[in-house]
Chains A and B, each alone.
Chain A
């Protein structure tokens, strides 16, 4: 088995965390619910940052650790960098404390 360069922490997650720096068009393998999935990187992304392991629609929750860590502020494609430019905290919303 090839060394995996990303980790998905919980099966409910829609993002994975990179274990190495990657370049655009790199094919990254990640275990998704017991089977390996290959994802093409849509940009240069650093170690410790997240990418979408599937399409995430605008307004949809971004899930890591099996929990929502925020909401997508725009549509995010599979393999795209998921960070402060396309996610906002749910804490910032008045209805959720």
Chain B
């Protein structure tokens, strides 16, 4: 299992070598887009947050944006802002520069506006691209990998094929000394104790239950009903008997290892092994949170063939639905419908996913990368105040 990656100054490994423009606030997106037209190979990390947010919501946006900049797949970042926002570009750049990677920032209202910022930004990006092109790969191992997991457009095949097969690959990453992060708090509702009893300590277990409770309370405060512990008639018709079975089908992607910690959305885990990250199920926010937490690669089991991708990391799409595998072959990286047909044991399918993961770590492009599919969306948990 020989792989190689880009060694960063903080000791982490990038499995890709991107230069990015990160906006500290949505109002600066236009500058990023103009620079992006000049340099199509630069990642445009644009979003709608960064201003008029308060308290925990503002903290979460800051942590997430900083995490995106810190992601080891990124060699250098230009942070752009206006200069008047609640998340200043300079503060964000300072936080990202703790990784000792190339970081610069531009506040264009503090200078002479957009027109003056374009050549300044261009010169910074040119310099970073020159530097990045001189970086060479070094041998490394899967122990340097933080793997993110997200499932979407799930169907009746997900719980018996793509999710458990992904779980087997996730276990193999942990056995190789790596980190695995799975998320999607709403999917734990009703089955949090099943994951909780795998926790490494009482503190981790309690934090998991508290996180689920807070998610439900936030929904309740907005007059939303999350239909706790509900198995819908469609689920029953499809063969799902209880809420435990329904949730287990989803959390199978997280494998079977001990839960080492529970993370806030976009929080970078300390230590090795399996982590659960607070977050929504919606694809752009879920993938963004995983990238902010440091995931260099994401595995995405899907029944119906969700196209969701990430700008920062390769996303490996796995389906167990034979029709999806055929019809949406331009989006799907691994077809495990062989399990449904009884032609391949689940364990073999899981090993196949792991082998693909190793190749992707070593540079093989995923379908979402060649399609250029992905966007950034930061999970917003508060009202806009101002």
Could you list which residues of chain A lie within 8 angstroms of chain B, going by C-beta atoms?
3-7, 9, 17-19, 31, 46-50, 62, 64-70, 82-84, 87-91, 96-97
Contacts and interface: CB of A to CB of B under 8 A. Distances in A.
Interface in B243-264: 243-245, 248-249, 252, 256
Chain A CB count within 10 A is highest, among B193, B238, B242, B343, for B242
Contacts of A5: 342
A7 B339 contact: yes
Interface of B: 156, 160, 164, 190, 193-194, 229, 236, 238-239, 241-245, 248-249, 252, 256, 339-343, 345-346
Given A3-B341, A19-B341, A87 B194 contact: no
A9 B243 contact: no
B234 to A, nearest CB: 11
A59 to B, nearest CB: 16
A60 to B, nearest CB: 15
A75 B238 CA distance: 23
A64 B164 CA distance: 12
B342 A7 contact: yes
Contacts of A47: 156, 239
B241 A69 contact: yes
Given A7-B346, A19-B341, A67 B248 contact: yes
13 contacts: A3-B341, A7-B160, A9-B160, A18-B239, A19-B342, A31-B345, A67-B194, A69-B244, A84-B236, A84-B241, A88-B242, A89-B242, A89-B244
B208 to A, nearest CB: 13
Chain A CB count within 10 A is highest, among B236, B249, B252, B342, for B342
A41 to B, nearest CB: 15
B136 to A, nearest CB: 44
Contacts of B345: 31
A89 B241 CA distance: 8
A15 to B, nearest CB: 9
A43 B164 CA distance: 28
A89 B243 contact: yes
Given A3-B342, A4-B342, A84-B236, A97 B243 contact: no
Contacts of B342: 3-7, 19
Given A4-B342, A9-B164, A69-B244, 11 more contacts: A3-B343, A49-B239, A50-B241, A65-B248, A68-B244, A69-B241, A69-B242, A70-B241, A83-B239, A91-B242, A96-B193
The 4 A-B pairs of least Cβ separation, nearest first, read A4-B342, A48-B239, A49-B239, A89-B242
Nearest to B246: A69
Nearest to A97: B193
Contacts of A70: 241-242, 244-245
Nearest to A2: B342
Contact of B239 (A46, A89, A90, A97): A46
A87 B241 contact: yes
B160 A17 contact: yes
Contact of B229 (A18, A46, A66, A91): A91
